[in-house]
Chains A and B, each alone.
Chain A
Amino acid sequence: MNPRLLPLYATIAIFLVACVICYIQFPYMLSTRVLGNLLTDNAYLGIVAVGMTVVILSGGIDLSVGSVIAFSGVFIAVMLRDTGLPAPVVFVLLLIVTTAFGAAMGGLIHGLAMPPFIVTLAGMFLARGAAYMLTIDSVPIDDPFYEMLRKAYYLMPGKGRLTLIGVVMLLSFAVGMVIAHRTRFGASVYALGGGENTARLMGVQVGRTTVGIYAFSGFMAGLSGIVFSVYTGSGYPLATVGTELTAIAAVVIGGTLLTGGSGFVFGTFIGVMTMGLIQTYIVFDGTLSSWWTKIVIGGLLLLFIVLQKGLLRLTSARFSGGLA
């Protein structure tokens, strides 16, 4: 068996076990209604986690995404309020802005040879500050187009609502999987994660790929911002503080190595769903406090990291055994 697939299998196994535990305690939890809510509530997180997966696969990190989501919401709300532009035009403008923002960060990371951690930290300050400069209030969005987006859903059997934003998340994961596993760009990303020098020797255009990776993450953060503004119906500069860390946690729980070069976009989907399931379980239980979510997620993080560590040791032992 391919040892690289083991973390993914472990992720899926833990998710299934969690589902079974939930089902035994609360049989109603496995309904399409809960499933629909799970997809809707975690839509923005899932979308941004797709971008984060690609960044982490390349061995980088993007701390700016939470701020970019907040900026997107504020940008949309203020543009719709102050200019007469129709919502789709605002969406396109926003996606151009966030993609360019991501590309600029990628350019800095490559051009200055600085760690992504610090560059995207500056990006985090900048995006949050830009959101503050647009407004410091929560701005409601009342646009007929928005009403339509929010009310758009497909009624699944069992009265579960598959909302539009849930579908957008599923599509993002599909697109992310194609990009990461089926394109030249995706192969370059994995190569970069394996090591920059080896990637360069293999003929990967490091600069172009780095810019592309962070531009993709910026685009996904912008898309996530749109989805989040549809979900909340407003723009608020203090929203989604810390989402970048939740996204990173989802990626790690999804079995992707934080050192880069190994992991799957599909794993991140399971990671997001696992975290959503924990939250749903706590809501169903009713007696557990919400802070248990954080502790359980921290515990899961530890479990996965130790598991991966063990697997790495196992595979490297196998390789050295093969050489001897």
Chain B
Amino acid sequence: MQTLRRLAPQIVTLLAVCLLVTLFFPGFLDISMSGGRLVGPVIDILKRSAPVALLAIGMTLVIATRGIDLSVGTVIAICGAVAAWAIAGGMGLWAAVALAIGAGLLAGLWNGVLVAVIGIQPIVATLILMTAGRGIAQLITEGRILTFTDPGFAWFGSGTLFGMPVPAVIWIVTGVVMAQLMRRTALGLLVEAIGINRRASALAGVNALVLLIAVYMASGLCAALAGIITAADIRGADANNAGLWLELDAILAVVIGGNSLLGGRFSIAAALLGALIIQTIDTGILLAGFPSEYNLVIKAGLVVIILVLQSPRLATEWYFWRRSVREGPPPATTKEHAR
């Protein structure tokens, strides 16, 4: 019940966006079975939101510790390049997956050490990898777009599992596992404690150093999964364009999910709903027949509306306004006695 109340704004927004798209494109909610797989715009949205949704999972945790991870888009490029390099080198499917995930964890470790041990601001620390990372990815692919034809690896991008596209399955499973890991154990609470006040949490016995590094590594892991999906989807690694600006979409998804950039309480489910909202808008604009040029402007308008709704200053004023309406304007001194 409490979870539902927390997620209500995001669910309402998602439903409203779906309704809006259905008005312009009546066939939006159609789902049919074709050749053992589900097809339809909704399934397409579930599949296409995979990279942003995966990034949003890791980003939620990082933002909950009052950090930010700008490097995830680049990590996608690096992991995609590593995977494609391994596949093209004939190392086999699982070696490629393992290497890509290893690269993601390594990138997360790097960010985590810079933030937790050296104590650099997260935005700057991850900016380093964001700048240098594309160069590293290009170093791996030697500046070309590495392509491969391994059907096993391509399954991660275009295969189906129980009728669902594999990317959708991957992000949903990752989201559920991560959310359970955070909420069934004390981990989520500890992460929130770091985000609210790192020093106080350290004094209370939370091992902030290890947890911070672990959170950034989780973000790297999610980016690695997204990188594998992206590379498998196009059957190649594009060091220049893979995951370009996805970090911004992921941050947006987290913010739409109602998570504060100032750290503290977080909800992975809400961030995932945010990612779905973004992808529904993107797909909906195309389905509704608007030129895709409108996409960014509509997105910007949406962000501003959400910002206004979430603004701490407006929230306080709204609170006082409602209270004054409810209680009428009695003199301030008697109000204290009335309670």
Contact B313 A112 (CB under 8 A): yes
Interface residues on B, range: 35 or more
Q: Which residues of chain B have C-beta atoms less than 8 A from A13's C-beta?
A: none
Interface residues on A, range: 35 or more
Contact A129 B294 (CB under 8 A): yes
Contact with B along A109-125 (1 / 0, CB 8 A): 00111110111011111
- A90 at interface (Cβ–Cβ under 8 A)? no
Sample of 9 A–B contacts (CB below 8 Å):
A118-B307, A119-B307, A125-B299, A245-B127, A258-B121, A258-B123, A297-B132, A305-B124, A309-B120
With known contacts A125-B296, A136-B293, A291-B138, A108–B124 Cβ distance under 8 A: no
Contact with B along A126-169 (1 / 0, CB 8 A): 10111011001000000000000000000000000000000000
Interface of chain A residues 288 through 319 with chain B (CB within 8 A): 289, 291-295, 297-299, 301-302, 305-306, 309
- B297 at interface (Cβ–Cβ under 8 A)? yes
Contact A122 B294 (CB under 8 A): no
- B200 at interface (Cβ–Cβ under 8 A)? no
Shortest Cβ-Cβ A-B pairs, 9 listed: A298-B132, A129-B296, A294-B135, A129-B297, A126-B300, A132-B293, A125-B300, A291-B138, A112-B311
With known contacts A122-B300, A298-B132, A309-B118, A129–B313 Cβ distance under 8 A: no
List residues of chain A with CB under 8 Å of any chain B CB.
61, 108, 111-115, 117-119, 121-126, 128-130, 132-133, 136, 241, 245, 248-249, 252, 258-259, 289, 291-295, 297-299, 301-302, 305-306, 309
**Docked CA distance A61–B70 (Å):** 14
With known contacts A121-B251, A295-B139, A306-B118, A108–B131 Cβ distance under 8 A: no
Closest chain B residue to A310, Cβ basis: B118
**Docked CA distance A305–B120 (Å):** 8
Contact with A along B151-193 (1 / 0, CB 8 A): 0000000000000000000000000000000000000000000
With known contacts A112-B314, A129-B299, A258-B123, A292–B307 Cβ distance under 8 A: no
Closest chain A residue to B131, Cβ basis: A298
> Distance in Å from the Cβ of B179 to the closest Cβ of chain A?
24
Q: Which residues of chain B have C-beta atoms less than 8 A from A108's C-beta?
A: 304, 307
**Docked CA distance A112–B303 (Å):** 13
Interface residues of chain A: helix, strand, loop or mixed (majority): helix
Contact A298 B129 (CB under 8 A): yes
**Docked CA distance A210–B235 (Å):** 47
Contact B307 A289 (CB under 8 A): no
Closest chain A residue to B120, Cβ basis: A305
> Distance in Å from the Cβ of B67 to the closest Cβ of chain A?
12
Contact B313 A309 (CB under 8 A): no
The CB with the most chain B CB atoms within 10 A, among A114, A117, A123, A245, is that of A114
- B98 at interface (Cβ–Cβ under 8 A)? no
Q: Which residues of chain B have C-beta atoms less than 8 A from A133's C-beta?
A: 293-294, 297
- B329 at interface (Cβ–Cβ under 8 A)? no
Q: Which residues of chain A have C-beta atoms less than 8 A from B307's C-beta?
A: 108, 112, 114, 118-119, 122
**New A-B contacts (13) at CB < 8 Å, excluding given A122-B300, A305-B120:** A61-B123, A113-B311, A118-B261, A119-B307, A121-B303, A132-B296, A241-B244, A245-B131, A252-B127, A259-B121, A297-B131, A298-B133, A305-B125
> Distance in Å from the Cβ of B323 to the closest Cβ of chain A?
20
Contact A291 B135 (CB under 8 A): yes
Contact A301 B127 (CB under 8 A): yes
With known contacts A108-B307, A121-B251, A294–B134 Cβ distance under 8 A: yes
**Docked CA distance A292–B139 (Å):** 8
Closest chain A residue to B137, Cβ basis: A291
Closest chain A residue to B244, Cβ basis: A241
**Docked CA distance A177–B259 (Å):** 39
The CB with the most chain A CB atoms within 10 A, among B244, B295, B297, B300, is that of B300
Contact A298 B299 (CB under 8 A): no
Interface of chain B residues 107 through 128 with chain A (CB within 8 A): 118-121, 123-125, 127-128
- B9 at interface (Cβ–Cβ under 8 A)? no
Contact B136 A117 (CB under 8 A): no
- B255 at interface (Cβ–Cβ under 8 A)? yes
With known contacts A125-B297, A130-B297, A118–B135 Cβ distance under 8 A: no
Interface of chain B residues 286 through 336 with chain A (CB within 8 A): 293-301, 303-304, 307-308, 310-314
Contact B296 A122 (CB under 8 A): no
Contact A291 B313 (CB under 8 A): no
- B42 at interface (Cβ–Cβ under 8 A)? no
- B252 at interface (Cβ–Cβ under 8 A)? yes
Contact B314 A305 (CB under 8 A): no
**Docked CA distance A147–B311 (Å):** 48
Q: Which residues of chain B have C-beta atoms less than 8 A from A124's C-beta?
A: 248
Q: Which residues of chain A have C-beta atoms less than 8 A from B311's C-beta?
A: 112-114
Q: Which residues of chain B have C-beta atoms less than 8 A from A301's C-beta?
A: 124, 127-128, 131-132
Contact A122 B304 (CB under 8 A): yes
Closest chain B residue to A113, Cβ basis: B313
Closest chain B residue to A299, Cβ basis: B132
**Docked CA distance A115–B252 (Å):** 13
